[in-house]
A and B are shown apart, each in its own frame.
Chain A
Amino acid sequence: MTNQQLVRRSIHWTLTALVIIYLITGLGITEYRIVEPLTLGLLTKSLAQKIHMSIEIPFIVFLILHIWLLPLLKHFRSRKLRNN
């Protein structure tokens, strides 16, 4: 596996995890009467809200990386080739 592939894969999996956490904590805020007993009281509304708010920026960063990483790398590679 090349470094580039490793980076891409890491971004994809991190983003997947962030999306899942974002969804569950979002439900933990709005549907707390269901989520709290389902998680045996572990994911309370306030905890869900704290997690949800704290992963907002990482989520956006990884989403941007996920969307733009490949086109950016291609762009840089083509520029490098042109310069050579």
Chain B
Amino acid sequence: MNMKKGIMGRQILFAILSVVLVAIIAFGVNIGCNQTEVLAPNEIREYEGADLSSINDFRENSIKGPQEIDVGSYTLRITGLVTNTTSYTYDEVLNMYQHYKKVVTLDCVEGWSATILWEGLLVKDLLAKVEPLANAEVVIFRAYDGYTTSLPIDYIMDNDILMAYKMNDVDLPPERGFPFQLVAESKWGYKWIKWITEIELSDDIDYRGYWESRGYSNSADLDKSFFGD
């Protein structure tokens, strides 16, 4: 009698477990169906015959990790030795200036590089609008995470230096510097500031940015050592 009861008990237990298992599976499938799958951005990997690196080929080496910037409250300020100190929203920056595309390779001092199709606006167009004063010598870029770097104003004005909002035809992801990254062509990677929030024009030719004040070259020319002057 007791044995029979035991078998019955086990059968009931198995039945309950089976029902629970089926319910879990059904619930799981249902959850799976409702979940939003994150698809990889549709980046291009070739442009006019040139092979491009992937957005994911970059090493994350920023000073405080990737920054999440709320595009709604974002402003780009242009300050310092300018006639008109200006502040733009993200959309204003995108809508007010001519857009350009260019394939440029970023060379990092860590030894890796990435060739990307950058899309953005020219920094010199931005500066032309605010009318730099005659004594402005240096363009200081500041980022959301506190990172800074600087470049001579002549370098910005004499070259087509982009402030990019797209790479390989997709918007910059947060870890790559959304909303804007500087494409400091022919300069080492630490000049390619991400998450730009302020551009200041200065006459301080001795100004040194974050890495420059920690021993890296201020000129950062690719054809020279990244240590030294």
A9 CB to closest chain B CB (Å) equals 33
**B215 within 8 Å of A (CB atoms):** yes
Asked if A44 and B215 sit within 8 Å, CB to CB, the answer is yes
Known: A46-B227, A50-B227. A30 touches B214 (CB 8 A): no
Residues of B contacting A33 with CB < 8 Å?
63, 65
Asked if A46 and B215 sit within 8 Å, CB to CB, the answer is yes
Among B59, B61, B216, point to the contact of A46 (Cβ < 8 A).
Answer: B216
Asked if B215 and A30 sit within 8 Å, CB to CB, the answer is no
**A42 within 8 Å of B (CB atoms):** no
When C-beta atoms are compared, the residue in chain B nearest to A53 turns out to be B227
Could you tell me which residues of chain B, from 98 to 152, have a CB within 8 Å of some CB in chain A? Answer: 109-110
A44 CB to closest chain B CB (Å) equals 6
Asked if B214 and A46 sit within 8 Å, CB to CB, the answer is yes
Asked if B59 and A30 sit within 8 Å, CB to CB, the answer is yes
Asked if B61 and A49 sit within 8 Å, CB to CB, the answer is no
Cα-based distance from A32 to B63 in the complex (angstroms)? 9
Asked if A44 and B110 sit within 8 Å, CB to CB, the answer is no
Asked if A30 and B110 sit within 8 Å, CB to CB, the answer is yes
Cα-based distance from A46 to B63 in the complex (angstroms)? 14
Asked if B227 and A45 sit within 8 Å, CB to CB, the answer is no
Residues of B contacting A50 with CB < 8 Å?
215, 227
**A15 within 8 Å of B (CB atoms):** no
**A60 within 8 Å of B (CB atoms):** no
Among B61, B65, B211, B227, point to the contact of A30 (Cβ < 8 A).
Answer: B61
Cα-based distance from A14 to B53 in the complex (angstroms)? 39
When C-beta atoms are compared, the residue in chain B nearest to A32 turns out to be B61
Cα-based distance from A52 to B109 in the complex (angstroms)? 12
Asked if A44 and B214 sit within 8 Å, CB to CB, the answer is yes
Cα-based distance from A30 to B60 in the complex (angstroms)? 9
Cα-based distance from A45 to B216 in the complex (angstroms)? 10
When C-beta atoms are compared, the residue in chain A nearest to B226 turns out to be A49
Could you tell me which residues of chain B, from 54 to 72, have a CB within 8 Å of some CB in chain A? Answer: 59, 61, 63, 65
Asked if B109 and A49 sit within 8 Å, CB to CB, the answer is yes
Could you tell me which residues of chain B, from 3 to 53, have a CB within 8 Å of some CB in chain A? Answer: none
Asked if A29 and B227 sit within 8 Å, CB to CB, the answer is no
**A47 within 8 Å of B (CB atoms):** yes
Interface centre among B63, B211, B215 (most CB of A within 10 A): B215
Q: Binary interface profile of A, 27-70, with partner B (CB < 8 Å = 1, else 0)? A: 00110110000000000111101100000000000000000000
Cα-based distance from A33 to B210 in the complex (angstroms)? 14
Known: A30-B59, A30-B61, A33-B63. A47 touches B215 (CB 8 A): yes
Residues of A contacting B227 with CB < 8 Å?
46, 49-50
Cα-based distance from A32 to B59 in the complex (angstroms)? 13
A79 CB to closest chain B CB (Å) equals 42
Residues of A contacting B215 with CB < 8 Å?
44, 46-47, 50
Tell me the B residues contacting A by CB distance below 8 Å.
Answer: 59, 61, 63, 65, 109-110, 211, 214-216, 227
